[in-house]
Structure 1
Amino acid sequence: MIYKNGKLLDEKPYLNDNFIYEVIRSEDGVYLFLEDHMKRLYGNLEKANKTELFDKIKGLMSDFKPERNVESVMIMVDGEDVFMEDMKIREVTDFERKNGVNIGLYEFERLNPERKIYRKNFKKEVQEIMDRNDLFELLLYNGNEVLEGSRSNFYYIKDGKIFEPTKKKTLPGVVKKNFYKMCEEKLSLEVEERELSLDELQNIDGALLSGTGMDVVPVKSINGRELSGKDYELSIELAQKFREYIDGYKKEFKEKEIL
C-alpha cells in the first residue's frame, strides 16, 4: 500500500527520478534505528531546502503502522508531497545467514554519496542482472577501485581485521553506523577505512554487507570465487553478533514503551 500525505492511493503514483527517500526496516512492530534514519532523512531535506516538511513527516510516521512482522517502510519526498509505502522485503534466509550470500561486480560511481536519491533506471538494471545470475547483491566499482554494494555498504576482512572502502565515496548507512558501534563497544574491534582495488579483492577471504533490508550478512562468493578460511568464519560470526545486537535494540525499545 502507498499513501500520499496520509491518504491511501488506489494506484502507484508517477514520481520524478530524483526524489529523496529513506527506507526503514520494521521487525515485530519496532522501527529499527528510527532516530538515525530520521536524522539522515532530515539532513537530506535540509540540503534540498525542504525543512518545512519536518513536522509533516513526523506526524505521518506516528500514524503509520506496518502490517507485517518484518517489512520495510519507504518514505519518499517529491516536491511538497510525502509518500509512504509499506513493502514486503526479501528476507535473508537462515541458510544465507549461516553460510553467506553470492555477489557480483558492476562498474558504477554514485554521483553524490552524501545524499540518498532514487535512480530508477540504475536500480532496475541492477535487479535484472542479479535475477539473471542468481545473485544477492552487486558490488560497485569505479575504474580499479571497489566502492560499495548497489543497495548496501561493503566491508572486507583481512588477517582478522575489518576494513571499509573510503567513506567519502560511499553512502553513509544507518546499519553501518550501528555495526561500527557494535564492533567497537561490544567486541572491541575497530572498523578501519582503507581503499580496495579490484586486484586486491581477489585475495580477500572474508566480506560482509550491511543495509536496511538485510541488516548485516556475510558473503560466500564474489564474482564466482568462493571465500573460505578464518576471515570467512569471522564474517559469519560478526553477522550473528549483529542479529543479537538487533534483538537487544528491540527489547530496549519495547521496555521504553512500557515505561
Structure 2
Amino acid sequence: MTWVLWNDRLVKDEEIRLSKEDRGYQFGDGIYEVIRVYDSNMFTAKEHIDRLYESADKIKIVIPYTKDVFHKMMYDLIEANEVKTGQVYVQITRGSAPRTHQFPATVSEPVITASTKEVERPVSQMANGVAAKTVEDIRWLRCDIKSLNLLGNVLAKQEAHESGCFEALLHRGDTITEGSSSNMYGIKDGVLYTHPATNLILNGITRRVILSCCEEIGLPVVEQPMSLSDVYSNDEFFMSSTTAEIMPIVMINGEKVGSGIRGEWTTKLQVAFEAKINQTINV
C-alpha cells in the first residue's frame, strides 16, 4: 500500500481528490521540492524546506504549517512507506478557485500533496559520466523560484533525450546558465566555474553543498557566467542535482570534454559529497 500526504493527512493514493479548478492544474500556480532520502533520512532537509518556504513567499503563497511541523510530515510519509534510498516529492498550489488570471479575492487553503518512492543512486553513471546537448534557454526570468512552470525545462530535456543525451546544457545566447533539471560546472586549470545564484538559475541545494566541499578540498570557485563558446576548453565538466548528485559530463554535443572520462577534481568532490551523506546517515 502506498501512502501520500494530502494537506495534513496521510491517505491512500487513490483517495486523493483534486479540483479541476485547482490553480496548480490550470496555471502551474504553485511550487515544489524534491528531497533525497538516504537510509530513511532526508539529506539537507532544512535547506530544502527553507527554500520551499522562500519560493512560497516569492509567489505570495502562505504555507499553513510551521517548518518544524512540515519537517515531521515529511518524515511521517517516509516512515509510512518504509523508504530506504529514495526521494520525497512535495508540491503546494495556491488552491482551488474560479478561473481568473489574477489571484482570486477568495481562495481555499493551499493544497499540499507529497509522495515518496525508492530511487537508487546512479552509481555507474557517476563513475563513467554522461553526455549533454546544448539547448537555448527559453524559460522565464525567475528561475530562482522552484515553481511548477516547467514546460521550458521539459522541452529542453526532451530535446536532449531525443539526441541520446542525459541532460540539456542551457544557454542564453553565449552564456551557459544551468541544466534542464540541474546546475552546471566547469573546471579549468584547477578552478571551478559556475553561474552565480541570480534569477537566471535555481540555487540548487546540492550546488550549495558542492561549494562547501570545494572549500574543504582546496578547489577555488569563481561564480561567473561561463561562455558557451569556451565550454569545450574545460578540463572537466559536471552537473549536479538532488537525485543525480555530482554527475560527470564527459561529452557535449558529441565532443569529448577533456580526456572524455571523469576528472580528478570531480572524483574528489564526489568523495567529499559522500562524506556529507554519511554524516546525515550516522546522525
Structure number, greater radius of gyration = 2
| Cα shift readout 1:184-224 (whole Å, capped 9, x = no counterpart) | 1x213232112211111121231121111111122111111
Cα distance, 1:41 vs structure 2: 0.8
For residues 158-169 of structure 1, the aligned pairs below 5 Å read 158-168=188-198, 169=200
TM-score with structure 2 length normalisation? Answer: 0.79
AA matched with 1:63: D
Cα distance, 1:52 vs structure 2: 4.3
For residues 1-259 of structure 1, the aligned pairs below 5 Å read 1=2, 2-5=4-7, 6=9, 7-10=11-14, 15-16=24-25, 17-55=28-66, 57-65=70-78, 66-79=81-94, 80-89=110-119, 91-94=121-124, 96-108=125-137, 109-168=139-198, 169-184=200-215, 186-229=216-259, 232-251=263-282, 253=283
- The list of structure 1 runs, each at least 4 consecutive aligned residues, that deviate by more than 4 angstroms after superposition, is 11-14
Which moves more between the two structures, 45-54 or 106-115? 45-54
Q: Within 1, Cα distance between the matches of 2:277 and 2:182?
A: 17
Cα distance, 1:88 vs structure 2: 4.2
Segments of structure 1 that go 5 or more residues without pairing to the other structure are 254-259
3-state SS in 1 of match to 2:112: strand
Name the CA shift for 1:202/1:189 in 2 (closer, same or farther; >3 Å).
Answer: closer
Partner residue in 2 for 1:256? none
Name the CA shift for 1:32/1:59 in 2 (closer, same or farther; >3 Å).
Answer: closer
Q: Within 2, Cα distance between the matches of 1:90 and 1:111?
A: 33
Q: Within 1, Cα distance between the matches of 2:150 and 2:120?
A: 19
CA RMSD in angstroms, aligned pairs only = 2.4
Q: Between Structure 1 and Structure 2, how many residues are aligned?
A: 250
Name the CA shift for 1:124/1:47 in 2 (closer, same or farther; >3 Å).
Answer: closer
Cα distance, 1:104 vs structure 2: 1.1
**Percent identity for Structure 1 against Structure 2:** 24
AA matched with 1:60: M
Q: Within 1, Cα distance between the matches of 2:196 and 2:150?
A: 25
| Cα shift readout 1:154-209 (whole Å, capped 9, x = no counterpart) | 1110111111123212211111111111221x213232112211111121231121
TM-score with structure 1 length normalisation? Answer: 0.86
Name the CA shift for 1:118/1:88 in 2 (closer, same or farther; >3 Å).
Answer: farther
Which moves more between the two structures, 78-87 or 1-10? 1-10
Q: Within 1, Cα distance between the matches of 2:29 and 2:221?
A: 32
Segments of structure 2 that go 5 or more residues without pairing to the other structure are 95-109
Name the CA shift for 1:40/1:216 in 2 (closer, same or farther; >3 Å).
Answer: same
| Cα shift readout 1:22-78 (whole Å, capped 9, x = no counterpart) | 110111101001111111111112223333423363452242115332211111001
